[in-house]
């Protein structure tokens, strides 16, 4: 798209599920041309995760706007020839196929970069390209479990996975960042780059605080729901009318203001059970009992007013349905209409805002929607396209 930072950049992606499509959608948002290569017949298996968005998958419409879809059976030699023609015109090649599959198809990073040293390749795997787990299946929940995220999420009674695909999203964002850095590096050196991103490494990075806490503290942080292992009061509190607010007391100024302004209990600030951060953590149950007793007498609106007056960070604990009409989204006009094969839907704007330039919000493609157009662009005439179809290329 003209005027956006990545206009003129072409990305070819053999992608499926979440991680790679999330990375390439960020590139498309910023103006890159993203050509999505899918299996004939079924396509990216994320297309079939559910049917909640006008009969389409909620995952798929989230991850695949502004892309072109070409259907190719890469097990067929004619389709591989088409694939190489696509990559020969590309700046970036992304894949998150099963371990070793790209290499078996002749689409491994080393082979492609030998053919075109300016090409940037990005391989997204579950556990990386070496080590005993390199061939293991790597669904998001499995990675959350292996990296310990599940063990530190949830309540004291039971662990829980993240409610969003954290490992996939993490790997997708590191893939996106790596590709941006490689494009910048190529401008200076003229050389492409081989990038390897794994879901495991991505989530290990996000687990930094628990890992350091455990390695040097001797034990893992407790699972505390919306509370915090090292801060109190911290977490979700309910008021008399059922409204729930999340708050965090980060320092002694806030603690004194909380006692005086919010709880109307100034004497609590000097209570020997709660007069330091560590004592508040040690006596969390008693502290929360006192707080809940006070909140049972006031409404959510009053609680929020007092928290804001005391300059204490807070937030409404919202259900997902409440977020759709969040006043911050509405006031900043963060929803846009995009096209899909089933009709228009509403989609949120990308998180990166480029001043003075509207982000790209193109339609979600149907499976193979652009196959014929792309083949013609690659130089195939009608006879050649019919031959490819007859040979099972798509």
Beta bridge partners of 244: 238
What's the Cα-to-Cα distance from 257 to each of 75, 97, 204, 270, 358, rounded to whole Å?
67, 54, 37, 12, 43
Q: Which residues have C-beta within 8 Å of that of residue 177, sequence separation ≥ 6?
A: none
Tokens describing residue 11: 């990305």
Percent of the chain that is helix, strand, coil (3-state, to 5):
40, 15, 45
Q: How many CB atoms lie within 10 A of CB 167?
A: 32
Tokens describing residue 155: 């309540």
Task: Please tell me the distance from the alpha carbon of residue 126 to that of residue 133, in angstroms, as a whole number.
Answer: 9
Catalytic residue among 228, 326, 370, 372: 228
Task: Please tell me the distance from the alpha carbon of residue 10 to that of residue 96, in angstroms, as a whole number.
Answer: 18
Torsion of the alpha carbons at 34, 35, 38 and 40, rounded to the nearest 10: 150
CA 16 from chain centre, in angstroms, equals 14
Task: Please tell me the distance from the alpha carbon of residue 111 to that of residue 48, in angstroms, as a whole number.
Answer: 32
- Strand 120-125, strand 92-95: pairing: parallel
Among 165, 179, 87, 178, which Cα is nearest to 126's?
165
**Residue 326 is among the residues annotated as catalytic for this protein:** no
CB 221 within 8 A of CB 229: yes
Among 22, 13, 18, which Cα is nearest to 47's?
18
Q: How many CB atoms lie within 10 A of CB 268?
A: 20
Q: Identify the three-state secondary structure at position 73.
A: coil
Task: Please tell me the distance from the alpha carbon of residue 339 to that of residue 128, in angstroms, as a whole number.
Answer: 36
Tokens describing residue 302: 């009053």
CB 330 within 8 A of CB 274: no
Active site residues: 228
């Amino acid at each position: 798209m003209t005027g956006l930072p990545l206009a003129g950049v072409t990305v070819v992606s053999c992608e499926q599920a979440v991680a790679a499509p999330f990375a390439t959608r960020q590139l498309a948002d910023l103006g890159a041309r993203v050509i999505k290569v899918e299996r004939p017949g079924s396509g990216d298996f994320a297309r079939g995760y559910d049917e909640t968005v006008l009969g389409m998958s909620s995952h798929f419409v989230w991850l695949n706007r502004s892309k072109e879809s070409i259907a190719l059976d890469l097990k067929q030699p004619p389709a591989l020839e088409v694939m190489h023609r696509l990559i020969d015109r590309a700046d970036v090649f992304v894949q998150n196929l099963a371990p070793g599959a790209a290499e078996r198809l002749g689409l491994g990073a080393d082979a492609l970069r030998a053919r075109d040293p300016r090409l940037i390749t990005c391989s997204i795997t579950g556990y990386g390209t070496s080590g005993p787990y390199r061939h293991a299946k790597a669904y998001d929940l499995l990675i959350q479990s292996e990296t310990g995220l599940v063990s530190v999420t949830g309540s004291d009674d039971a662990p829980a996975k993240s409610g969003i695909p954290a490992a996939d999203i993490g790997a997708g964002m590191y893939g996106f960042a790596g590709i941006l850095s490689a494009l910048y590096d190529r401008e200076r050196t003229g050389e492409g780059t081989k990038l390897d991103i794994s879901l495991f490494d991505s989530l290990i990075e996000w687990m930094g605080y628990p890992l350091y806490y455990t390695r040097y503290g001797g034990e893992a942080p407790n699972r505390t729901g919306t509370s915090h292992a090292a801060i109190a009061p911290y977490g979700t509190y309910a008021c008399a009318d059922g409204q729930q607010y999340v708050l965090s007391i980060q320092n002694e100024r806030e603690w004194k203001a909380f006692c005086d302004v919010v709880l109307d209990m100034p004497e609590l600030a000097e209570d020997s059970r709660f007069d330091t951060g560590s004592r508040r953590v040690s006596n969390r149950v008693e502290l929360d009992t006192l707080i809940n007793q006070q909140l049972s007498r006031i409404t959510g609106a009053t609680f929020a007013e007092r928290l804001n007056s005391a300059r204490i960070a807070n937030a409404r604990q919202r259900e997902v349905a409440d977020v759709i009409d969040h006043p911050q989204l509405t006031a900043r006009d963060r929803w846009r209409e995009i096209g899909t094969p089933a009709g228009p839907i509403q989609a949120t704007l990308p998180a990166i805002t480029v001043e003075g330039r509207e982000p790209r919000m193109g339609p979600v493609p149907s499976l193979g929607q652009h196959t014929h157009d792309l083949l013609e662009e690659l130089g195939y005439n009608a006879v050649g396209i019919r031959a490819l179809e007859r040979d099972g290329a798509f």
